[in-house]
């Protein structure tokens, strides 16, 4: 992606919490990051004054595209970042945060195992879980484990001998209820290991197993009328539930579903898609769909849903959306939630789609503003009475007088309007006469626009010096538009600008943005003319080659070229295919001659 486009992306980033994603020139995800303020964080990477290390500088050099997903809170962003890193394993998340910097949780290999946080991976020390994408994520999990289970935090060597000899005394953690005193033999090893077993489920992310265990224990104690113990497990369930439901990004009540929303604009639509697996957002994509035409929002979102689901092979059977989908795959349901967390999730998706709409519209306004600045400069450079919003430029092309053609390109708001480009075959001029050719095409162009009552340009540019400009002025006089539309000529050699009635060229600063725009328009007209001329000359040469074959006249040659498009395709065709176009004896002769030409 061009640097200008990347700068526009940076200018239009939201100042919201969320996750940003960097892609390289092959659109491969290379880094995922989170931020409280996406714009502030991402722009810091491109700040020349930042003291980045070598690896970060290498990352920045590879960034060609930026995507983001906004979230409601920084905590949501943290969880989403963690999910996306685990799912995609981006290259620079590993390079910039290697094993020495990633935090882990470890169940140590010891009697009455402790659970510790560490940045060092030591083989054989214990069972490691992670790495976690941030210390905050790691601490939140460790805090949950310690609230749910009585896991010791001391570093005593709790061997059977040390406990038997009463070498240790219980500490404050025992008195506040966070530890059951295994150091004095007040807790059996089997009971402690059961807590470690349950904690292991949480560290692996299997919260459902822990929930089932607590529910089972609560029901057993309730049936035995041990209501105090039942309440103990109920409190544990409540704590676990709060941990899961405090974020939309990870929520046990939201299972495997897809979420897709659409926000429409004047000519475009903006769609956000989220994939949720086991309660976690594992994929997020926001796209702009241009020139939607007569399609309804229901049709657009349905088509987008199908393509996005296919791209990541989603097998989720429920699609939540903000409008009803026109169609879904067999076996897939669509719903518009009205309350609860599912509605909030749809709102979050719509928020991302709306953010992309704002970004694109701001980018469009910024580009339009820049274009009008250039046009304003051009107006001052050429001393025009009005802004040259529509500019048309003419150019001739011929080769030693043969196959004379011309082109006209049209620029609107300083941008190419390719639907307005025109090719011209010179009809009234014989031989190499650029002046007469220029008069012919200018006459034909504006005579037709006037007859069809179509909009005339604000500025006419002629690729050439005083001679071509004079020819264009003659044509404009004949059709009655001279004096109504300003016209200039731009000479190739010294980039001189000529205006009617002035023998001396107009002096414009060579660094002027207005002059650069004129050069761009002139070069585009030249390219368009040359391309057309080469195509015409190629067809003429090809036609001449065929006409040299016995039995092939001009009409037959044109018939063959119209069907096969080129000599190469004609020579590769079998005899029966050629016979379908021309008589058998002609087809045989064509095949024979072209086969000999190929073997030379």
> What is the CATH number assigned to the segment(s) 257-358?
3.30.70
> Packing angle between helix 340-382 and helix 513-547, nearest 10 degrees?
90
Instruction: Determine the Cα–Cα distance for residues 414 and 368; give it in Å rounded to an integer.
Output: 9
Q: Starting at the earlier edge strand, list the strands of the sheet with 269-277.
A: 280-289, 269-277, 257-264, 318-321, 333-335
> Burial, 124: exposed, middle or buried (Cβ in 10 Å; 0-12, 13-18, 19+)?
exposed
Helices marked H in 99-170 — which ranges? 135-148, 160-164
Residue ranges of the chain whose pLDDT lies below 50: 1-2, 97-100, 399-401, 540, 542-543, 600
Instruction: Determine the Cα–Cα distance for residues 108 and 124; give it in Å rounded to an integer.
Output: 9
CB atoms within 10 A of CB 296: 12
pLDDT of amino acid 546: 67
Count CA atoms closer than 13 A to 358's CA, side-chain side: 11
Provide CATH 1.10.150.20 ranges for the chain.
548-599
Provide CATH 3.30.70 ranges for the chain.
257-358
- Report if pTM > 0.85: no
CB atoms within 10 A of CB 119: 13
> What is the CATH number assigned to the segment(s) 548-599?
1.10.150.20
pLDDT of amino acid 431: 65
pLDDT of amino acid 272: 93
Rg (C-alpha) for the chain, rounded Å, is 37
Beta strands in 438-532 (DSSP E): 459-463, 487-490, 497-498
Asked whether the CA dihedral 44, 47, 52, 56 is positive or negative, the reply is positive
> What is the CATH number assigned to the segment(s) 390-536?
3.30.420.340
- Model confidence over 218-235: pLDDT tens digits? 999 888 888 888 888 888
Instruction: Determine the Cα–Cα distance for residues 16 and 39; give it in Å rounded to an integer.
Output: 8
Instruction: Determine the Cα–Cα distance for residues 146 and 127; give it in Å rounded to an integer.
Output: 17
Instruction: Determine the Cα–Cα distance for residues 283 and 274; give it in Å rounded to an integer.
Output: 6
Classify each residue of 248-258 as buried b or exposed e, where b means 16 or more C-beta atoms within 10 Å of its C-beta.
Answer: bbbbeebeebb
pLDDT of amino acid 600: 46
Domain 3-95, what architecture?
3-Layer(aba) Sandwich (3.40)
Provide CATH 3.40.1440.10 ranges for the chain.
3-95
Provide CATH 3.30.420.340 ranges for the chain.
390-536
Is-contact 443 406, C-beta < 8 A?
no
Instruction: Determine the Cα–Cα distance for residues 75 and 54; give it in Å rounded to an integer.
Output: 30
pLDDT of amino acid 389: 93
Asked whether the CA dihedral 129, 134, 139, 141 is positive or negative, the reply is negative
pLDDT of amino acid 99: 40
Asked whether the CA dihedral 576, 577, 578, 581 is positive or negative, the reply is positive
């Amino acid at each position: 992606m061009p640097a200008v486009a990347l700068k526009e992306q940076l200018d239009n980033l939201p100042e919201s919490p969320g996750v940003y994603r960097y892609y390289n020139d092959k659109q491969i995800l290379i880094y995922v990051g989170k931020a409280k303020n996406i714009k502030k964080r991402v722009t810091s990477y491109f700040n020349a004054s930042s003291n980045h290390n070598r690896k970060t500088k290498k990352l920045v050099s590879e960034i060609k595209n930026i995507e983001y997903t906004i979230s409601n809170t920084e905590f949501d962003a943290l969880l989403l970042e963690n999910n996306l890193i685990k799912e995609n394993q981006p290259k620079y998340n590993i390079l910039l945060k290697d094993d020495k910097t990633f935090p882990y949780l470890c169940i140590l290999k010891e009697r009455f195992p402790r659970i510790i946080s560490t940045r060092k991976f030591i083989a054989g020390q214990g069972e490691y879980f992670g790495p976690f994408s941030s210390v905050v994520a790691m601490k939140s999990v460790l805090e949950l484990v310690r609230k749910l289970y009585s896991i010791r935090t001391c570093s005593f060597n709790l061997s059977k001998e040390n406990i038997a000899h009463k070498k240790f005394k219980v500490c404050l953690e025992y008195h506040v209820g966070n530890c059951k005193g295994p150091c004095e033999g007040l807790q059996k090893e089997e009971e402690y290991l059961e807590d470690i077993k349950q904690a292991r489920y949480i560290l692996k992310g299997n919260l459902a197993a822990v929930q089932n265990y607590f529910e089972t224990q609560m029901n057993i104690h309730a049936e035995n009328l041990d209501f105090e113990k039942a309440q103990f497990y109920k409190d544990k369930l409540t704590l676990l539930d709060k941990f899961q439901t405090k974020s939309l990004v990870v929520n046990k009540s939201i299972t495997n579903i897809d979420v897709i929303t659409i926000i429409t604009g004047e000519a475009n639509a903006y769609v956000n898609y989220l994939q949720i697996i086991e309660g976690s957002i594992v994929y997020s994509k926001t796209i702009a769909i241009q020139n939607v035409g007569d399609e309804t929002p229901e049709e657009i979102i349905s088509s987008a849903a199908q393509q996005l689901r296919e791209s990541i092979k989603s097998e989720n059977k429920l699609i939540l959306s903000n409008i009803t989908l026109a169609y879904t795959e067999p076996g897939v349901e669509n719903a518009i939630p009205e309350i609860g967390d599912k509605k909030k999730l749809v709102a979050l998706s719509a928020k991302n789609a709306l953010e992309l709409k704002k970004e694109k519209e701001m980018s469009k306004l910024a580009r339009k503003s820049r274009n009008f600045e250039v046009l304003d400069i051009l107006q001052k450079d050429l001393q025009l009475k009005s802004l040259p919003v529509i500019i048309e430029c003419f150019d001739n092309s011929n080769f030693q007088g043969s196959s004379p053609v011309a082109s006209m390109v049209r620029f609107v708001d300083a941008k190419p309007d390719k639907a307005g480009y025109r090719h011209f075959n010179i009809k009234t001029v014989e031989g190499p006469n650029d002046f007469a050719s220029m008069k012919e095409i200018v006459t034909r162009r504006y005579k037709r626009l006037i007859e069809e009552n179509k909009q005339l340009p604000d500025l006419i540019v002629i690729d050439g010096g005083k001679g071509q400009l004079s020819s264009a002025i003659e044509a404009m006089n004949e059709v009655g538009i001279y004096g109504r539309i300003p016209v200039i000529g731009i000479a190739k050699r010294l980039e001189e600008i000529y205006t009617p009635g002035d023998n001396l060229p107009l002096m414009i600063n060579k660094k002027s943005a207005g002059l650069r725009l004129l050069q761009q328009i002139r070069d585009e007209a030249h390219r368009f003319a040359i391309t057309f001329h080469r195509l015409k000359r190629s067809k003429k040469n090809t036609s001449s080659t065929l006409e040299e074959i016995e039995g092939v006249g001009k009409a037959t040659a044109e018939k063959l070229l119209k069907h096969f498009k080129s000599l190469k395709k004609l020579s590769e065709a079998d005899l029966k295919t050629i016979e379908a176009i021309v008589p058998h004896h002609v087809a045989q002769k064509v095949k024979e001659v072209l086969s000999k030409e190929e073997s030379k």
